[in-house]
Amino acid sequence: CTKKAKMAKDNTNGLAMCRVLLAELEAHQDAWPFLTPVNHKAVPGYRKVIKKPMDFSTIREKLANNQYLNLETFIIDVNLVFDNCEKFNEDDSEIGRAGHNMRRFFDERWTELLM
């Protein structure tokens, strides 16, 4: 098994994990604020404040279009969802709390799968 073949296998395993993790994020009861792109017409100020919007449906699309090189590039986009949420929402708000819960769930899950 060449080094290149091992790399290819790792990426395949990594992308299988992305699919598992994304399905679990989408199924989580606190996922509702993150399932679709924030409609900046419905949320005043969002487009100005959040420079790189991201949501689970966009991640789903990127995964389907093979736009994630590996698990790392996928984790960067998932963390972007939660970082945007923290930037825009009060910690003590419905959406803010959902973001913290989802980040905690995600961090626990991917470390479980990798360890």
Ligand X SMILES: Cc1ncccc1N[C@@H](C)c1ccc2c(c1)OCCO2
Q: Interface with ligand X by CB under 6 A: which residues?
A: 33-34, 38, 42-43, 85, 88-89, 95
Nearer to ligand X, 21 or 81 (CB): 81
| Nearest distance, CB of residue 7 and ligand X, angstroms | 35
Residue 39's CB is within 10 A of a number of other CB atoms, namely: 9
Nearer to ligand X, 34 or 74 (CB): 34
The conformation of residue 51, written as its DSSP 8-state character, comes to: S
Nearer to ligand X, 70 or 97 (CB): 97
Can you state the percent helix, strand and coil of the chain, rounding each to 5?
Answer: 70, 0, 30
Helix, strand or coil, per DSSP, at residue 30: coil
| Nearest distance, CB of residue 4 and ligand X, angstroms | 40
